[in-house]
Chains A and B, each alone.
Chain A
Amino acid sequence: MPGLDQMLAVFLDTLRDVLPIGVVLTVFQFFILKRPIPNPHQVLLGFAYVVIGLTLFLLGLEQALFPVGRMMASQFTDPGFLGTQGPGGDQANHWMAYLWLYLFAFCIGFSTTIVEPALIAVAHKAHLLSGGTIGAWGLRIAVALGVALGITLGVYRIILGVPIHYFIIAGYVIVVVQTFFAPRAIVPLAYDSGGVTTSTVTVPLVAALGLGLAENIPGRTALIDGFGLIAFASLFPIISVMTYAQISEWRVRKRMNRLTKRSAGDNQENPEGEYK
């Protein structure tokens, strides 16, 4: 249980963190726009809630999310659970032994993303923007799959010990190449979806998982291998969203082609790319 002095320290830190936002908004409101603040009482109450909420969240983080992430990491890499002989042996680094861990990483990534409120809002906008070719649910599943695959691959990388930038640079190349072929309207949205998906709760939990893994797997250090899971989780949705848009567009085009072929009756092939 956190002591009262610890609570106070976190509270003061939080106050210091939120203060700049207040200063920026006040200065611009009074000196640049020269307008009074509407509903000053409500705004002040809101700021008080933000400080209280942030304090409680950061305290709970230390109590629950960080310890759980580390604990799961150490349990999944325990030689007794893996069924391998001693730590440090070649057997312990065999990637098949970590099958449950990959499944866990996949489930955490998928389940936290599918309920993410920011993503639900973005998916709805994308549905309108595409004129209905991109379904809101399809997009959410695409992003969630992207995050899940990303975290799983990130865990695989920690176990393997390969430098992270090989994976990330390969991912960048895929993103750039895909950008040329993806429907234009989806591109900014796809780029944004990478940043939107990693929520306040997921980030600490996933970071703790990565650090715990790097500490427990023989031959890895937290300093070099511990970070990077979130990078995978923000890169893969970009790829999966563009892939989803391409598949949707391709299916719509195929259906349109078939329809026109049937109704035209003259059996003439439609020129490629006429339907967008």
Chain B
Amino acid sequence: MQSLKSLFRPLLESARDLTPIVLVIAFFQFAVLQQPLPNLGGLLFGLLLVLMGLTFFVRGLDLGLFPIGEAMAHALARKGSLFWLLCFAFCLGFATTAAEPALIAIAEEAATVAATGGMIVDTLDARDGYALGLRLTVALAVGTAIVLGVLRILKGWPIHLMIAGGYLLVVLLTLVAPPEIIGLAYDSGGVTTSTITVPLVTALGVGLASSLKGRSPLLDGFGLIAFASLLPISFVLIYGMVI
């Protein structure tokens, strides 16, 4: 009973997040387009599934993943072993990105588009392989990005020079990458950092910056996510060239 009650608050929050989308779509559907919604029952059921799914997901993150992840990020940041810290940074970035729901959704959609567009063979195996390859590429990129970001906090490198360098890399890779991958690659930067990754990665950055002398948690703790949204672009561009 207690656990059911504790689900009520995230349910309200999920409903609040979904409301503006539903309102905007309903307004345009009925007032502007003036068309009835086909398969209304199926849509509402799907919306209910999304609502329930987000509720359980957010509650589960609060119960299990966030407390243990944050405690661990703090503990490792204070432990002082550079090797294990970087190891943890990479694994954290990789594992959380591989499970990111928005990325799963986009990768499957991209595989379908690539198959119908003739970029890969249109079989279930080829599509699954492409989607998984895409997700692993992005996860690898985020893992590497977090390692770079942690090194930046430790060494105090200036963030804007690194970001500008990253932009330069993206621009150069764009020139040689196949045009089919460019849009998807640019998208993958924004997709990677959402529900799971952001809180855990921020915890690592802030924990690290606050345990070091001469680093401000607000100035140096931020910026990890910027790397995590920049590096996947380059990695996916390379993935498009290799495949």
Contacts from A to B (Cβ < 8 Å)? 1, 17-18, 20-21, 23-25, 28-29, 32-33, 35, 37-39, 42-68, 71-72, 75-76, 81, 100, 104, 107-108, 111-112, 114-118, 125, 128-129, 163-165, 168-169, 172, 175-176, 179, 185, 187-189, 191-192, 194-205, 207-208, 211, 221-231, 233-234
Contacts and interface: CB of A to CB of B under 8 A. Distances in A.
B101 A164 contact: no
A58 B20 contact: no
A50 B65 contact: yes
B183 interface: yes
Contact of B171 (A53, A107, A172): A172
Contacts of B228: 195
A188 B104 contact: no
B222 A45 contact: no
Interface centre among B59, B225, B228 (most CB of A within 10 A): B225
B99 A21 contact: yes
A224 B180 contact: yes
A201 B49 contact: no
B235 interface: no
Given A192-B222, A227-B184, A53 B56 contact: yes
A62 B94 contact: no
A111 B20 CA distance: 6
Interface residue SS majority, chain A = helix
A248 to B, nearest CB: 17
Interface residues of B, number: 106
Contacts of B21: 108, 111-112, 201-202, 205
Contacts of A230: 106, 186-187, 190-191
Given A32-B76, A227-B186, A228-B187, A60 B229 contact: no
B19 to A, nearest CB: 8
A203 B194 contact: yes
B57 A207 contact: no
B50 A65 contact: yes
Given A24-B92, A192-B222, A195-B190, A204 B105 contact: yes
